Structure 1
Amino acid sequence: MKILCLGEVLIDMLSQGAMPNDGDMPAMKPFQPFAGGAPANVAVAVAQLGGDSAMVSKVGGDTFGAFLKSMLAHYQVNTDFVWTAPHANTALAFVNLDEDGERSFDFYVDNAAHKHISQQDLSSISFTSDSALHFCSGSLSESDLLSGTMFILEKARENGAVVCLDINYRPAFWDDTANAPSRIDEAAKRVAVLKASREELNALYGEEHADAKIQEWLSAGVKIVLVTDGGGPVQYVTQSFEGTLTSPKVKVVDTTAAGDAFIGGFLYFLSTAVKNADKFNAWINNADNVREATAFAIRCGAHTVTQYGAFSALPTHADLNQ
């Protein structure tokens, strides 16, 4: 099964080391550029494990955009659908890390190239029942993005592809955060696989309503909801069973791509276990299958937080076997 990942590919400017010391002169930590962007991280995560993945995005006609396309190709991600927007900028995300490796973000996304992905661009992409579409809520965050995303979402569904949404809520991406709960809800009801963090669910729908929202999505046809909680247990909920699995204790240095590694690992495992959507529907109803796939995804996320960066932190099978 081929995994197509729709959305932003950008530059993560990751804070490094100690703050420069020049007497009383104010200074900031240095930043090092890494290739990143949540959907792109998922595409690389699948490819690193030996899966078949493609990126669907746009980059700017700048040095950052050229770098990102070359990095995707280096990691064996298909870039046939990574277009260049000559008059747009490649998005930048400045990522500050605290002493526990937790992140805070400053996004520079004005006139970002990935915001110019159009329905006309996406009409060139075809789906079959042996493919999957993955996207994040950033692709719902502005009106122009929303129309193209819903177009390709319906196209994928109509052609029998498995569709996966990682909520990955980033308020700075949204033209109006008041639109986020309803837009995400509308898209979520149309996917087969949904991943969210407990923090995101609480922020979007309220802690007292989060579990009810999960059940609402399952009733609408979602096959599985995966809920992460930082380094805490991961919950999986399907239409017929649910459970939790613990995460291993590791030394955390950078959580930048942890969730992406998790869902990328899950999608990779799925792509090797089933050949098409019909097989998926039977596979997902087996609790042993779901536990095995979720456990593998947890191992992928756990490895990633022990490394700096995004693409470079995503595990291979050799990494997982150490």
Structure 2
Amino acid sequence: MASTDGLDLIAIGRSSIDLYGEQTGGRLEDMLSFAKYIGGSPTNTAVGGSRLGLRTGLLTRVGNDHCGRFIREQLAREGVDTRGVAVDPERLTALVLLGIRDPDTFPLIFYRENCADMALCEADVDPDFIRSAQAVLINGTHLSQPEVFAASMKACAIVRANGGRIVFDIDYRPVLWGLTGKDAGENRFVADTAVTERLQQVLPLCDLIVGTEEEVHILGGDTDTLAALRAIRARTNALLVCKRGADGCSAFPGAIPASLDDGVVGRGFPVEVFNVLGAGDAFMAGFLRGWLRDAPLEDCCAWANACGAIVVSRHGCSPAMATWEELQAFLHGGERPFRLREDAALEHLHWATTRASDYPALTVLAMDHRSQFEALCSQVGADPGRIAGFKSLALQAVDRVAKGDPSFGVLLDGRYGARALEAAATAPYWIGRPIELPGSCPLEFESSPDVATELATWPANHVVKCLAFYHPDDPQALRERQERQLLRLADATRKTRHELLVEIIASRNGEVADDTAARAIQRLYDLGIRPDWWKLEPDDRAAAWRNIEDAIVRNDPHCRGVVLLGLSAPEDELIASFEASAQAPIVKGFAVGRTIFADAAQRWLAGEIADEAAVADLARRFSVLVDAWRDAKQRARSQAIRETA
């Protein structure tokens, strides 16, 4: 029997890099920049299925190159099992260039000659891996090459012998069968009897077959959809699902009726079509989420259509795939705008439920200070050029304490910390980077006046940190000016796909009561600003933290959490403040700098201690705070257990 504790689905076939033109409404020739995503129909479906709660895996090949490593890493981030992703030392990873010209035109260029995934062969099919799944998904495009056809058939035989099910995505791309010019990648149909004969060889094996009307035509060998469906039905008892675009879909578990509308019909959702690419893969993921869990056929169709509608409204294929929570919100959350990507609540839910990694705890050495280091250099007569060297030592100190634990992190700036940021690129740690002009109030941004242009130059794993000296009782003109800047930044981070940490220091601008920080947070939420992280001042009042947590959870239950800043507080005072903040589950840790580095930085810059002494001092002080925070959290958890016992 098929496994009940392994994977739900293994998808077999294409896996590529999609380079999506970021400009829309023009020719591919006129694209200026491209967004990089993982792609390929089976890969997209594996990602989509995983986001919907299925346990998915992928059987494919990637090159031993940067693109292949990106695919493997991104699949792991998405929760897709990569045991079947072989690394091909001889071939490059497949590549596709894509554009969005108008609602009907989506230019595609496939770079697939002798690429890694099309070299998949029978030897790549591990029987134990295949037997771990309840179903395999094979793909029509991959059947165009003899070796890949043989690999797909071997996998089907294994899963069939193990009591599993076989899904066939017709996925017809004439260009990949050599039937069109290489510049006609978007062409969806060219009649060809040889293709029909090849595809029909798999029909007796299948339990589920899914395709568009054009794909049904090539599989059935007839351009009349009903006639093609009947030709397919004559060769298989599989459930047949015909995708009908805006009209939804029709499913046929038995004989083919006189009309498509006489099948089990799932109606489409009225949304603006922004990008059809990837919608079919999303449809498949949604359908399989129901079908593999034995949901009613009507639910399978509804989920499939909804997933397709969500993806056609967005840029990209795999990154646009809906999560289960997002799908439920779409189906049951009331009226949605026709231009679905303008639904701020749904877009935020998509962002928040597709972020990589989870952080139940986060302890950060904050080394993003710039003006403070310049002042230190002036004080001891040191060359500011030495600051960069000290910040690189700080990264060594973090590594000495963390030993590869991803719940640790660094805050580093691009002015003096660029070398350390570069070194951190291959480390597993959380990385934050400041965008504000040091000390500015009203808030100003460092570097480019156009903050989105600046962020477009930052690596994707850099969390944008912005400090605002912001009090909810600031004079109206000051408050509104700072809020405009934060709104610009929040919008920019979403468009550049960076996480955002907002740091609020209210004490510089006025008195701080139990509700001050919570009121500031609420004000920003009211404006539509939803940071991934908050960085807040230490406070020894439990009531203040209850107010803060209430404000965050009420407005954004998906917020990653709060980290504490240090404000140069003496070590013992900062540790004492941990007791109250640790009581709040929303507080995940700290991002402290001067309490840890001030003494070592002054002595190192003055030439009084060498590199190793500086690293050791930083590591020791950082460890003291880490241990104190963990102890405070453990006491808080123990107290919570006692109170609920």
TM normalised by structure 2 equals 0.44
Asked if the contact 1:19–1:28 (Cα under 8 Å) also holds between the matched residues in 2, the reply is no
Aligned match for 1:200, one of 209, 212, 215: 215
Aligned-partner residue type, residue 45 of structure 1: G
| Change beyond 3 A, Cα 1:17–1:206 | same
Find the residue that maps to 1:65 and give its secondary structure.
helix
Aligned-pair CA distance for 1:297: 1.0
Q: What is the Cα deviation at residue 136 of structure 1?
A: 1.0
In the alignment, which residue of structure 2 is the partner of 1:144? 147
Residues 1:127 and 1:83: Cα distance change in structure 2 (over 3 Å): closer
Amino acid at match of 2:115: A
What residue is the counterpart of 1:270 in the other structure?
A: 291
Name the structure with the higher strand share.
Answer: 1
Question: Relative to 1, partners in 2 of residues 1:303 and 1:207: Cα closer, same or farther, differing over 3 Å?
Answer: same
Say whether the 8 Å CA contact 2:24–2:101 is kept in structure 1.
no
Query: 2:322 matched to which residue of 1?
Result: 315
Query: Which structure ranks higher in relative contact order (CA pairs < 8 Å, sequence separation ≥ 6)?
Result: 1
CA distance in structure 1 between the aligned counterparts of 2:264 and 2:294, rounded to whole angstroms: 20
Gap change, CA 1:188 and 1:144, over 3 Å in 2: same
Counterpart for residue 292 of structure 1: 299
Q: Equivalent residue of 1:272, what SS?
A: coil
Closer/same/farther in 2, CA of residues 239 and 203 from structure 1, 3 Å limit: closer
The aligned counterpart of 1:110 is 113
SS in 2 for 1:267: helix
Q: Give the drift of 1:265.
A: 1.0
Aligned to 1:36: 39
**What is the aligned partner in structure 1 of residue 200 from structure 2?**
185
Q: Structure 2 CA distance, aligned partners of 1:128 and 1:32?
A: 36
Distance 1:58 1:166 in 2: 19
Q: State how far apart, in whole Å, the 2-side matches of 1:135 and 1:33 are.
A: 25
Aligned residues: 302
Match of 2:228 in 1: 213
Q: Which has the higher helix share?
A: 2
Distance in 1 between the 2:133 and 2:79 partners?
19
**1:53 matched to 2:69:** no
Asked whether the equivalents of residues 3 and 131 of structure 1 are also in contact (C-alpha less than 8 Å), the reply is: yes
SS at match of 2:107: strand
Partner of 2:124: 121
CA contact (8 A) 2:21 2:32 kept: yes
Structure 2 match to 1:8 = 14
Q: Does 2:253 match 1:232?
A: no
Q: Which residue does the alignment assign to 1:245?
A: 266
Instruction: Rate the CA distance shift 1:203–1:164 in 2: closer, same or farther, 3 A.
Output: closer
Shift of the 220–159 alpha-carbon distance from structure 1 to 2, 3 Å rule, reads: farther
**Structure 1 unmatched runs, 5+:** 21-25, 275-288
CA contact (8 A) 1:129 1:160 kept: no
Structure 2 vs 1, CA of residues 234 and 27 (structure 1 numbering), >3 Å: closer, same or farther? closer
Name the CA distance, whole Å, in 1 between partners of 2:326 and 2:32: 30
- Mapped partners of 1:265, 1:222: distance in 2: 22
Q: Identity of paired residues, percent?
A: 24
1:309/1:19 CA distance change after superposition, 3 Å: closer
Tell me if structure 2 keeps the 8 A contact 1:16–1:32.
Answer: yes
Question: Which of 85, 90, 93 is 1:87 aligned to?
Answer: 90
CA distance in 1, matches of 2:12, 2:24: 36
Return the match for 1:135 from 123, 138, 151.
Answer: 138
More displaced 10-residue stretch of structure 1: 92-101 or 113-122: 92-101
Do residues 222 (structure 1) and 237 (structure 2) align?
A: yes
> C-alpha separation between the residues in 2 aligned to 1:216 and 1:144?
27
CA distance in 2, matches of 1:305, 1:248: 11
Residue 483 of structure 2 is matched in structure 1 by: none
Aligned-residue offset at 1:175: 5.1
Are the structure 2 counterparts of residues 60 and 178 from structure 1 closer, same or farther at C-alpha, using a change threshold of 3 Å? farther
Aligned AA (1:206): D
Looking at structure 2, the residues matched to 265 and 163 of structure 1 have their Cα atoms a distance apart, in angstroms, of: 16
Deviation at 1:307, TM superposition (A): 1.4
Secondary structure at the aligned position of 1:5 is classed as: strand
CA–CA separation in structure 2 for the residues paired with 1:185 and 1:148:
16
Counterpart of 2:279, as a letter, is A
For 1:27 and 1:298, the matched residues in 2 are separated by 33
Indicate the RMSD between aligned Cα atoms, in angstroms. Answer: 2.3
> If the length of structure 1 is used for normalisation, what is the TM-score?
0.86
Whether contact under 8 Å (2:204, 2:236) holds in the other structure is yes
* Structure index of larger Rg: 2
Please list the CA deviations of residues 133-175 of structure 1 after superposition, one character each: whole Å capped at 9, or x if unmatched.
0021012011121122122222222221110001010112225
Task: State whether residues 2 and 271 of structure 1, in contact with CA within 8 Å, keep that contact through their aligned partners in structure 2.
Answer: yes
Residue 639 (structure 2) aligns with? none
| Cα distance change on mapping 1:134 and 1:272 into 2, 3 Å | same
Task: Check 1:273–1:19 CA distance in 2 against 1; reply closer, same or farther (3 A cut).
Answer: closer
The AA in structure 1 aligned to 2:58 is M
Residue by residue over 1:36-87, the C-alpha shift from the partner in whole angstroms, topping out at 9 and shown as x without a partner, is 1100011111100111000111001111110011110110000011010011
| CA-CA distance at 1:308 after TM superposition | 1.0
- The verdict on how the C-alpha distance between 1:223 and 1:124 changes in structure 2, with shifts beyond 3 A counting, is closer
Give the direction of change, closer, same or farther, for the CA distance of 1:132–1:102 in structure 2 (3 Å limit): farther
Give CA-to-partner distance per residue, 1:211-243, whole Å, 9 cap, x none. Answer: 233234334333311111222231111115823
Q: How big is each residue's C-alpha offset from its partner over 1:170-195, in whole Å with a ceiling of 9 and x where there is no partner? A: 11222566531111111123200000
Give the CA deviation at 1:102.
4.5
Deviates more, 1:62-71 or 1:181-190: 181-190
Pairs within 5 Å for 1:162-173:
162-173=165-176
Deviation at 1:123, TM superposition (A): 3.8
Match of 1:285 in 2: none
Q: SS of the residue aligned with 1:100?
A: coil
In the TM superposition, residue 128 of structure 1 has moved relative to its aligned partner by 4.7
Question: C-alpha separation between the residues in 2 aligned to 1:194 and 1:8?
Answer: 18
SS in 2 for 1:180: helix
Q: Hey, what's the Cα distance between the residues in 2 that align with 1:18 and 1:96?
A: 7
Paired residue type of 2:55: D
Preserved CA contact (<8 Å) 1:256 1:305: yes
